[in-house]
Amino acid sequence: MKNKPSYSIEIVVNGESKKAEVSAEETLLHALRDKLGHTEVKEGCGKGDCGACAVLLDGKAVNACLTLALQAHQKEVVTVKGVGTREKPHPLQVSFVKHGAIQCGFCTAGMIVSAKGLLDKKPRPTRQEIKEAISGNLCRCTGYKKIVEAIEDAALRLNSLSGSSKLSKSSKAN
């Protein structure tokens, strides 16, 4: 049997440049989890229905199971670990814990990534915009209410942080 041709790709994952050999039909999810060790990207349905595998690709939330690894060549990928760490959590992560928006946790990585994609573009989203942004992320446990509240709270927190950093910059300038 002939070996499938492979291609070298280079992706910046969470700020770090990584290389992998992938086949033409290989998904970004497979490359991230099985070749680059990013098991924080979860595999749920594997066919675009659950959002567990969401990552940011050049700032846009995508399902890694529906994205070819080749499409990520020379692009930036952010996984939930790139959003924040245990030592330095992002306000979204703090807020998910505070609001009890995590139960079994299987959907959480994808939810946080989708929410980050939204807040980066739209720092003051409406409740409806939040619901739309996470409409591709399924959660079997929480009923979504706590997740939406957590994202609203994180947006408030981020806006007050950016307000206070602007204030401190202008008071330094004065």
Contacts with ligand FES, residue ranges (CB under 6 A):
43-46, 48-53, 63, 65, 102-107, 139-142
Q: Which is nearer to ligand FES, 79 or 142 (by Cβ)?
A: 142
Single-letter residue type at 14 = N
Single-letter residue type at 70 = L
Half-sphere exposure of 82 (CA within 13 A, CB side): 23
Minimum gap (Å) between residue 86 Cβ and ligand FES: 18
Euclidean distance between CA atoms 112 and 108, whole angstroms: 6
Q: Which is nearer to ligand FES, 43 or 152 (by Cβ)?
A: 43
Q: Which is nearer to ligand FES, 14 or 67 (by Cβ)?
A: 67
Minimum gap (Å) between residue 76 Cβ and ligand FES: 19
* Torsion sign (Cα): 118, 116, 16, 27: negative
Minimum gap (Å) between residue 81 Cβ and ligand FES: 17
Identify the three-state secondary structure at position 37: coil
